[in-house]
A and B are shown apart, each in its own frame.
Chain A
C-alpha cells in the first residue's frame, strides 16, 4: 500500500524531459569533428604542453594532502605516541593495531612518561586515507604526509610497523612539506609538561581559558 503512495508521489515530483531531436547537421557529425580538431590545433600552436611529465616532474602536493602516515618524535627523539588507542578507535578501516606498554621508572630516558606503544602497525593497503587518526590523536603523534606514491613488492611490505613509520617522519620532517597540523605547534597536556610558572605564556592556539 505504502508502495503505491510512494510511486504516485514520485511520479508527481518527476519532470520528464525528452531528448532534443537530432537535426541533419548534427547527424553528419562533421561540425563536431571540425570543432574538436580546431581545439586540438589551438593547443598545439599555443606551444604550451598540458601533459604532466610524471614521474620525471613530480606534482606539487598541498600540505593538507592525506598520504602515507608518519609517527612523530617528541623532543627527546622518542616516539611521541602515548598509546592511547584513539586513532585505532577512530579508524573506520580497522587498519591500525597498537600494543601498549608501560615505561620503566628506572629508565632515565623514559621515566617522564607512563605509556608508549610497544608496537604500532598500520596496514597501508587497508587504510582509506581518511585522516580520522590524525584528527583523533590528542598529541599530534600520527600524521598523514604528502607522500602519495606508495608502492611495494608484496603485501607484507605495505604493512608499516613503528620503525618504518618513524623513518617516514625522519624523512619528511623539515622537508618543507610537513603536514599543516605540525605547524600548529599545539600539544595536549598528555605530551607536554605543564607551564613551569604562572608567567609562562599560554601555548599558542589555546583560548584565554587554557584547556
Chain B
C-alpha cells in the first residue's frame, strides 16, 4: 500500500500498519510495551519512540524534530523511519532506566525470567547500571487479583495492557489503575477479583513478570520448556496453542496467535483444562477381558492389565480367543496381541452381514483417525454401522466482550467465542462418516438399537475429556451389556471397565492429526509428549490395527483422504501450514 523507508531499507507496508508493524516487515524491531495488535492504542510507555520523517516526491527527506511513538503513528507512503540514530537510542535507554527505577530486579525468583521484555529490551537497548541512589518504592504482592492470577506489583511497568484486555476483549472490566505517578498500581475492586473465563490471558499479555499464573507459578523455569504448536481440543473454536512441556510432562498451554482461528487469546477452560493428561485416571495399558468389578483405585490399572486380581469374565470374546493368548500383557509389548485380538473380535462379532456390529466414532478424534478406522471397518465385504458418538454441548456459545450487564455482544462485534460444543472435530468426523456411509447416524439411534438388543458388538471410541460429557450413564449401561465391546479411550470409566478389549489411547498432546473447527478450519495438532505408560497415540493405534504398512504419518493419510473424500479435497497437499487451511474456499466467520 505504499513504500516506507526503515533505516534506509525500502519496504512495502499495509494500509493499517503502524510504524512498529512496518519496521517489523523490514526486519527491524521497535521495542514496545503498551501496544498490542488486538488492543487499543494508548501510547503510554514511550518505549517505541522513533525518528520519523517524510520523503518528498522530489527525493528530499524532511525529518520531524521530535521523536514520535511508533505504535500510534500509521505508516504512509513515503514515511521514513529511523530506529538506529543516537537520539532514538538515547531515548530508549532513558525510558528503560525510568521503567527500572523502582523495579526490584528480582529476576532470579521471577517466573517471567527468560521470556521477559524488560530483560530483553534492557539487554538490547538499555544500560547495565542504575543511577538511583534513593531507596526503591517497595510494594505488596497481590494474590487476590484472581483465582488464577497473582500480581507482583513492583514489577509492573504500567503498560495497562491487562486493564485494556478486561475492558475491550473480555468486557468484564475487573482490572483498573489506582493512584498516580510512581505509586500507580493495578488493582481490582474489593471482592470483585478477575475471574472471568478469559482472565488467564492477562498473564500472557503482561510483558513483564507482574501478572503471573498461580497454576504455573514456580513450577518450571521457562527456559527448560520445549514448545510444540498444537490446537486446544476443548471446544469447537479450536484455539491455536503452544503446548509447553519438559521431560514428558505438560506444564502449560499458551495461545498461539492465529487470526484464522481465534485471534491472540484462549479461554481458561482450555488453558487449564489439560490436567487430565497426568491424572491418575489415565488408562496406561491395553487390556483383554472384561473386569468383573471396578478396581479400587486408579493405580490398579497397571495390575488389572497384568491380569492379577480382577479376573476375566468368560465373555464370548475371551472364550473365543486362542488359548495361548498372552494375558500377561504388561511384561512384553502388549500391543501386537491386543490389536490381533481386536481384529479377531471384530471379525467374529460382525458375522455375515455386519449389521449387528456398530462402530461409534467420537468427535474428539482427528479426521485421520476417523478415516483410518472407518476405512478399516468398511473395507471388507461386510459393512458394519458407523455412528457418531455423543456431541457434548454445554449451554450456549459464550461470546465476548460482555457489556457491563454481562450480556454477550452482537455477532459482528464478537471478539472471542467459547463454543458450546465441547469437542474439537465434530465437523471433520461427520464428513468422514458421511463419505463412508452416505448418511450420518446419530448416537441416539444407535443407542436405541443397542437397547433393543439389535447389536451384539461395538467398537466405541471415547476420548472425551470433560468429565460430564461423553457417554452418559444410560449409554454406558446399555453398551456394557454387549458381548463384544472394544473401547478405545484414555480415562477410566464404567465403560472402560466393561470393555472386553480396552485399547488405551492418548490425549491431544500425545497425538498428531487434524481437527476441523466449527468454521471449517483444518488445523494440525502435533505430539508434544510421548504417550504415557503403555498407552498409544490413536493415530498409530488405528494405523496398526488397520494393518497398514509403515509408520503413521498424518500428512500421508491426509493426502490419501483428499483423493477419496471430495469434501476434504482442500487438504490434498497434506500440508496445512502453521495457521491451518479452510476446507471450503470461502472462509466463514469464526463465530456461528
Contacts of A139 in B (CB 8 A): 108
Check A190/B109 contact, CB under 8 A, given A89-B223, A210-B131, A210-B133.
Answer: yes
> Does any Cβ of A come within 8 Å of B138's Cβ?
yes
Give chain A nearest CB distance to B315 CB in angstroms: 46
Known contacts A84-B109, A100-B218, A105-B143; A194/B138 CB under 8 A: yes
The number of inter-chain residue pairs (CB within 8 angstroms) is 63
Q: Is A185 part of the binding interface, using a Cβ–Cβ cutoff of 8 Å? A: no
The answer, among A100, A188, A190, A198, for a CB contact under 8 Å with B134, is A198
Contact string against A for B residues 129-170, beta-carbon threshold 8 Å, 1 for contact and 0 otherwise: 111111110100101000000001000000000000000000
Which residues does chain A contribute within 8 Å of B221, judged by CB atoms?
84-85, 89
Minimal beta-carbon separation of A142 from chain B (angstroms): 12
Q: How many residues of B contact A (CB 8 A)?
A: 25
Q: Is the interface of A mostly helix, strand, loop or mixed?
A: loop
Knowing A195-B135, A196-B135 touch, does A209 contact B217 (C-beta < 8 A)? no
Judged by a CB distance under 8 angstroms, whether A207 is at the interface is: yes
Closest Cβ of chain B to A166, distance in Å, is: 19
B132 nearest CB neighbor, chain A only: A210
Contact with B along A75-106 (1 / 0, CB 8 A): 00000001111100100000000001110010
Contact residues of A between 152 and 211, Cβ < 8 Å to B? 188-190, 194-198, 200, 207, 209-211
In the bound complex, residues from chain A placing their C-beta under 8 Å from that of B106 are: 114, 189-190
B residues 403-446 in Cβ contact with A at 8 Å? none
Tell me the bound Cα distance from A54 to B105 in angstroms. Answer: 48
Main secondary structure of the interface of B (DSSP, over half): loop
A67 at the interface (CB under 8 A from B): no
Partner of B109, one of A83, A195, A197, A211: A83
Interface status of A138 (Cβ within 8 A of chain B): yes
Contact A198/B218 with A114-B141, A211-B129 known, Cβ cut-off 8 Å: no
How would residues 42 to 75 of chain B score, 1 for a CB under 8 Å from any chain A CB and 0 otherwise? 0000000000000000000000000000000000
A73 interface residue, CB < 8 Å from B? no
- Complex alpha-carbon distance, A89 and B225, angstroms: 12
In the bound assembly, the distance between CA atoms of A85 and B138 in angstroms comes to 25
In the complex, the answer to whether B108 meets A209 with C-beta atoms within 8 Å is: no
Provide the bound-state CA to CA distance between A209 and B136, in Å. 15
User: Is B131 a contact of A209 with CB atoms below 8 Å?
Assistant: yes
Q: A102-B217, A114-B141, A196-B135 are in contact. Are A84 and B108 (CB under 8 A)?
A: yes
Chain B min CB distance to A190 (Å) = 4
Measured CB to CB, the nearest residue on chain A to B130 is A210
Tell whether B27 is near chain A: CB-to-CB under 8 Å.
no
Q: Give Cα A155 to B132, complex, Å.
A: 51
Residues in A whose Cβ lies below 8 Å from that of B138? 194
A82 and B108 form a contact (CB under 8 A): yes
Give min CB distance, A159 to chain B, whole Å. 19
Considering the complex of A and B, which 6 residue pairs feature the smallest CB-CB distances, nearest first? Answer: A84-B108, A209-B129, A100-B218, A190-B108, A115-B109, A138-B108
7 A-B residue pairings within 8 Å (CB atoms): A84-B108, A102-B217, A138-B107, A189-B106, A190-B106, A194-B104, A209-B131
* A89-B224, A138-B108, A210-B132 given; 6 more Cβ-contact pairs under 8 Å: A100-B219, A114-B106, A189-B104, A194-B136, A195-B135, A207-B129
Enumerate chain A interface residues (CB-CB to B < 8 A). 82-86, 89, 100-102, 105, 114-115, 138-139, 188-190, 194-198, 200, 207, 209-211
Please give the residue numbers on chain B whose beta carbons come within 8 Å of chain A beta carbons, in ascending order: 104-109, 113, 129-136, 138, 141, 143, 152, 217-219, 221, 223-224
